[in-house]
Amino acid sequence: MHILTSCITLWYGTCTVSCHKTLQRIVKAAERIIGVSLPPLLDIYNTSLTSKAIRIAGDPTHPSHSIFSLLPSGRRLRSLRARTSRLKDSFFHQAVRRLNSLPALPLLLPLPPATDSNLAPTRLPPSI
């Protein structure tokens, strides 16, 4: 199962319906062989997609961090434009849609540094 799910966020969104059915048949065969029920690939994909998107959006040093920009309201992410369904099914487009569908948007952007207006400025000792 690890072989199928190791990079599921990259390929699962762009699979066709027949590809999904084939993959589900493989999972069912694996369940029969090992005798244990396995979670559906769609559940694994959604979990992986959400956690990876939150990690990227929360890391300002990640090259793709700027894709996850908040709207002025701060409640939703800006939707990405796509002309083709192939692009709409790619990781970043699905990640933005997935995060926007969550009931509460997780803290994605780092908070600005706190300013200590209550603290007096530090004084340097007089130089002799």
Q: What is the pLDDT of residue 13?
A: 84
44 contacts: CB under 8 Å, gap ≥ 6: 5, 8
Task: Please state, in angstroms and rounded to a whole number, the distance separating the CA atoms of residues 3 and 8.
Answer: 9
Contact criterion met (CB below 8 Å) for 56 and 94? no
In a domain, 114, yes or no: no
63 contacts: CB under 8 Å, gap ≥ 6: none
In a domain, 122, yes or no: no
In a domain, 107, yes or no: no
Q: What phi and psi values does residue 70 have, to the nearest 5 degrees?
A: -80, 150
Q: What is the pLDDT of residue 128?
A: 53
In a domain, 81, yes or no: yes
Domain with 11 in it? 2-101
Residue 80, class by beta-carbon neighbours within 10 Å (0-12 exposed, 13-18 middle, 19+ buried)?
middle
pLDDT tens per residue, range 79-88: 889 899 888 8
Task: Please state, in angstroms and rounded to a whole number, the distance separating the CA atoms of residues 69 and 79.
Answer: 9
Q: What is the pLDDT of residue 124?
A: 47
Q: What parts of the chain have a pLDDT lower than 70?
A: 1, 106-128
Q: What is the pLDDT of residue 61?
A: 92
In a domain, 93, yes or no: yes
In a domain, 37, yes or no: yes
Q: Find residue 77's DSSP bridge partners.
A: 70
In a domain, 41, yes or no: yes
In a domain, 94, yes or no: yes
Domain count, the chain: 1
